């Protein structure tokens, strides 16, 4: 896979704006590990190799066990590896990411609201939206995952 262009160089103000949203999410009060798990799950759904690499590495650096990382895609079968908060965030991430198919139904919203307060849910949805945008940028312009660079 060859990189098509470097959007960070071509549109630095756009990249900076997305970085500002990331900064907001990281200071929002949501646990960093939870946000990274959501980023990883969204990137799995969107099949974004670049972001899968980045967020897997970030979670490893945070000390998340490999067993947990291996089961993010099948989190429903992960038992106690995932907390109620993580499971709820992952369901919400899947529903919002697949919005064209799901329409984000009322029962999904009510389940998320049972665990997250209004601000947390808005912040989580901003994080999910940001990762969807990041995936679309990385996939469209063929960002090369670090792992692929290291193994060439």
What Å distances lie between residue 63 and 56, 131, 136, CA to CA?
11, 22, 28
* Residue stretches of the chain with pLDDT short of 50: none
Q: Would you say residue 17 lies in a domain?
A: no
Q: Are 128 and 97 contacting, i.e. CB atoms less than 8 angstroms apart?
A: yes
Asked, for residue 2, whether it belongs to a domain, the answer is no
- Determine the Cα–Cα distance for residues 107 and 113; give it in Å rounded to an integer: 10
Residues 77 and 48: their CA atoms lie apart, in Å, by 23
The verdict on residue 61 lying in a domain is yes
Give the pLDDT score at 148. Answer: 65
> Phi first, then psi: what are they for 72, rounded to 5°?
-55, -45
Asked whether residue 130 is domain-assigned, the answer is yes
Tell me if 14 is assigned to some domain: no
The total number of residues shown for the chain amounts to 152
CATH number at residue 55: 1.20.1290.10
Q: 74 near 45, Cβ under 8 Å?
A: no
Look up residue 97 and give its two tokens: 């990411």
Domain extent for 87? 31-143
Are 69 and 77 in contact by the 8 Å Cβ rule? The answer is no
pTM summary value = 0.94
59-89 residue pLDDT tens: 999 999 999 999 999 999 999 999 999 999 9
pLDDT score at 152: 63
Numbers of helices and strands, H then E, in the chain: 10, 0
Tokens representing residue 58 in the block: 């970030």
Asked if the structure places residue 35 within a domain, the reply is yes
């Amino acid at each position: 896979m060859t990189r098509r262009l470097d959007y960070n160089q071509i549109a630095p103000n756009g990249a900076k704006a997305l970085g500002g949203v990331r900064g907001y999410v990281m200071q929002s009060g949501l646990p960093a590990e939870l946000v990274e798990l959501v980023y990883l799950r969204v990137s799995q759904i969107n099949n974004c190799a670049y972001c899968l690499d980045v967020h897997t590495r970030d979670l490893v650096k945070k000390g998340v066990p490999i067993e947990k990382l291996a089961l993010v895609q099948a989190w429903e079968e992960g038992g106690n590896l995932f907390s109620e908060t993580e499971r709820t965030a992952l369901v919400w991430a899947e529903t919002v990411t697949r919005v064209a198919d799901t329409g984000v139904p009322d029962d999904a919203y009510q389940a998320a609201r049972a665990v997250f307060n209004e601000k947390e849910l808005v912040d989580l949805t901003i994080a999910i939206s940001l990762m969807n945008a990041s995936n679309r940028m990385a996939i469209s312009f063929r960002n090369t995952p670090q792992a692929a660079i290291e193994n060439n």
